[in-house]
Amino acid sequence: MAAVSWTNKMFGQCFRAARRTAGLKALRLLQHRTFRVGAVHWQQPFDSSLEKPQFPGASAEFVDHLEFIQPNVISGIPVYRVMDRQGKIMNPSQDPQLSKETVLNFYQKMTLLNTMDRILYESQRQGRISFYMTNYGEEGTHIGSAAALEPDDLVFGQYREAGVLMYRGFPLDLFMAQCYGNADDLGKGRQMPVHYGSKDLNFVSISSPLATQIPQAAGAAYAVKRQNTNRAVICYFGEGAASEGDAHAGFNFSATLECPLIFFCRNNGYAISTPTNEQYRGDGIAARGPGYGMLSIRVDGNDVFAVYNATKEARRRAVAENQPFLIEAMTYRIGHHSTSDDSSAYRSVDEVNYWDKQDHPISRLRHYMTARGWWSEDDERSWRKQSRKTVMEAFERAERRLKPNPELLFTDVYEEMTPTLNKQREALLRHVQQYKEHYPLDLYEKYIH
């Protein structure tokens, strides 16, 4: 018992935040901490004479009237923004005061991503690659958040975060190599297009199943916390993925384990093809944060500065305080969900045109730069021409490259090839030799022989 008393004295009682965001006052509630010592749970003592709830699962007061909590108790969470649609700063105190060079870099990365999307989308339509997903309309969420992170922060993406990787320095040649699955692809041609990854840039490879990255990010953030390396983890996902059970697991683990993790939800309105009014009830994704004990905020995802400010502050506090944050970036998917989708089946052309012409993150940032004399029509024409030329050159190089060695089908699973894999490899070799006229192995690097 002496050891227990000493432990309790050293740790004492600690505070947890019952957090409410966006206009709701943050309320600090005293919680009892349970410690595990010698396989026995010991709880801080409490005063049983007090006429208030002592249940360990919640912090509340007794009431003597029957009342169900309304679902809109945390409704109408406001949308934080810095710029209006014309690029005008609304509140000077919120201006991040970024340098001209930084803002130009934002704009050039956003437009370069847009140009790459157009070329690769058309490439798929021409049958040159098998699949593609554009980022039209969501460029501000990528660049604004990526710029607020540190280079060694770990990124878990979903499949529409190419701009984050581009901002970190991933070259066009590797984007193209991945989509073409050629010999330069870091994934060795094993993934379908847009499933990027880069160990050097701390960007975990994309996986197709929805929301699997969310609990993975929670585990990674817990490891980062234990290492005490001043790093954060950011996890991107869409509002559709937030309906998966993995989202609940990730939110709950990160909150209870107090992990330095930023959950970044791109709420673009339609998931794969399901509008938000059919996807959930309640006030979006940010409203879920308080239920898990997370600080949350809703931002204008088409305002790159609002995204930058929110992510930067969330990152600072996540690392300093070891706690998760939830950012819901409100934006709009202008393109189809993927090349397998026809969005005209579930939304109108007029709706899409509004977001494309009147509330686009790229045009908003351009208005900001033009008002400051940082960008002109000549600059725009020159940059568009140059960026298209750069993308097309990378595109052509990727198309000429050989495919990966087919033997790579069997590597990188075990340190040494297992008997079963060896049998499979030999069977493939026999098959290819027998039907060589159907396999253009001259298109592959170091083909099986």
- The pLDDT tens digits for 170-182 are 999 999 999 999 9
CA 391, chain centre distance (Å): 24
Q: For 48, which DSSP code?
A: T
If we measure between CA atoms, which residue out of 220, 299, 290 comes closest to residue 266?
Answer: 299
Q: For 415, which DSSP code?
A: S
In terms of Cβ atoms closer than 10 Å to its own Cβ (0-12, 13-18, 19+), residue 42 is middle
Note the pLDDT of residue 246.
98
Contact 74, 283 (CB under 8 A): yes
Q: Where are the beta strands (DSSP E) in 302-446?
A: 325-330
Mean pLDDT within 206-224:
97
In the numeric block, which tokens belong to residue 22? 């966006």
Q: Which domains does the chain have, with CATH numbers?
A: 92-400 (3.40.50.970), 406-443 (no CATH)
pLDDT in tens, 349-399: 999 999 999 999 999 999 999 999 999 999 999 999 999 999 999 999 999
Is 67 in the active site?
Answer: no
Q: Would you say how long the chain is, in residues?
A: 449
Note the pLDDT of residue 16.
38
32, 122, 130, 376: the catalytic one is 122
Catalogue the long-range contacts made by 440-443 (C-beta closer than 8 Å, 24 or more residues apart): 441/406, 443/402, 443/403
Contact 123, 248 (CB under 8 A): no
Cα 297 to Cα 49, 73, 103, 199, 324: the distances in Å are: 39, 16, 24, 30, 12
CA distance 5 to 12: 10
142, 195, 336, 337: the catalytic one is 337
| Percentage of the chain modeled with pLDDT above 90 | 81
Catalogue the long-range contacts made by 272-278 (C-beta closer than 8 Å, 24 or more residues apart): 272/240, 272/337, 272/341, 273/337, 273/341, 273/343, 273/345, 273/346, 274/240, 275/346, 275/347, 276/239
5, 75, 130, 208: the catalytic one is 208
CA distance 307 to 32: 36
Q: Residue 72: which pLDDT band, with cuts at 50, 70 and 90?
A: confident
Note the pLDDT of residue 291.
92
Is 142 in the active site?
Answer: no
Q: Residue 56: which pLDDT band, with cuts at 50, 70 and 90?
A: confident
Q: For residue 4, is pLDDT > 70? A: no
Q: Residue 69: which pLDDT band, with cuts at 50, 70 and 90?
A: confident
In the block, residue with structure tokens 């901002």? 167
CA 268, chain centre distance (Å): 13
Is 376 in the active site?
Answer: no
Mean pLDDT within 92-104:
98
Note the pLDDT of residue 194.
98
Is 438 in the active site?
Answer: no
254, 338, 343, 387: the catalytic one is 338
pLDDT in tens, 156-174: 999 999 999 999 999 999 9
Sequential DSSP letters for 63-90: -SS--PPPTTTT-----B-SB-TTS-BS
Q: Where are the beta strands (DSSP E) in 65-216?
A: 154-156, 203-204
Longest dimension (CA), the chain: 87
Would you tell me the crossing angle of helices 100-125 and 172-180 to the nearest 10 degrees?
Answer: 20
Note the pLDDT of residue 447.
61
Output the average pLDDT for the chain: 89
Mean pLDDT within 62-69:
89
In the numeric block, which tokens belong to residue 6? 């000493």
Residue type, 94: Q
